[in-house]
């Protein structure tokens, strides 16, 4: 039985999320430096995903272009806000390109959200599509303004 007080923070991060204005350009640059290869899945280097969820507690719909590269056991996740209001676009508009979030996998994401919000964390955005893995970003930290993402495997 798992410890009900255990946290995603006690496990290794799954990925590092970086927000970019042009994902193709970012991939080209990073692959030239030796990162990658970048792939979304076996068929796509980049994939646009449509989301329905919440942003600041209100219903929202948005599309994000995503690609990933392995860096040892951790993935480097590139994210380009493509359409709609979304947390990624808010960060890009406010701060420009760069580190957006640290991501963990959780098989108890709703329990993690409950525990984190009880400790003062604020949900920034989330999406829980029926029959598919969901995710949640908590607002940026007081130090470094780094968002934390929980994602279902």
Quick check: is 2 in a domain?
no
pTM value is 0.89
Tokens of 27: 């991939």
Which pLDDT score is estimated for 145?
83
The mean pLDDT value for 36-59 works out to 94
pLDDT by residue (tens digit) across 100-122? 999 999 989 999 999 999 988 99
Give the CATH number, domain containing residue 136: 3.10.180.10
Number of H helices, E strands in the chain: 3, 8
Which pLDDT score is estimated for 12?
78
pLDDT by residue (tens digit) across 120-140? 899 999 999 999 999 999 998
Quick check: is 41 in a domain?
yes
Q: What CA–CA distance (Å, rounded) separates 47 from 147?
A: 22
Q: Is 4 a residue whose pLDDT tops 50?
A: no
- Which residues constitute the domain of residue 120? 8-151
21 in Cβ contact with 97 (< 8 Å): yes
Number of domains in the chain: 1
Q: What CA–CA distance (Å, rounded) separates 153 from 132?
A: 10
Quick check: is 141 in a domain?
yes
The mean pLDDT value for 37-61 works out to 94
Which pLDDT score is estimated for 79?
98
Q: Residue 117 to residues 130, 137, 140, 148: CA-CA distances in angstroms?
A: 23, 12, 13, 12
Quick check: is 129 in a domain?
yes
Reply yes or no: is the peptide bond before residue 149 cis, omega within 30 of 0.
no
């Amino acid at each position: 039985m798992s410890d009900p007080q255990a946290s995603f923070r006690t496990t290794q991060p799954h990925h590092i999320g970086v927000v970019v204005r042009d994902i193709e350009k970012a991939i080209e640059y990073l692959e030239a430096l030796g990162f990658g290869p970048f792939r979304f899945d076996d068929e796509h280097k980049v994939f646009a995903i449509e989301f329905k969820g919440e942003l600041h507690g209100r219903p929202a719909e948005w599309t994000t272009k995503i690609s990933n590269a392995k860096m040892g056991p951790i993935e480097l996740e590139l994210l380009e806000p493509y359409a709609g209001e979304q947390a990624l676009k808010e960060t890009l508009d406010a701060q420009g390109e760069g580190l957006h979030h640290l991501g963990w996998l959780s098989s108890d994401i709703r329990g993690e959200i409950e525990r984190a919000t009880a400790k003062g964390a604020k949900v920034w955005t989330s999406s829980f599509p029926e029959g598919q893995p969901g995710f949640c970003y908590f607002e940026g930290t007081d130090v470094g303004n780094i968002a934390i993402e929980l994602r279902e495997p």
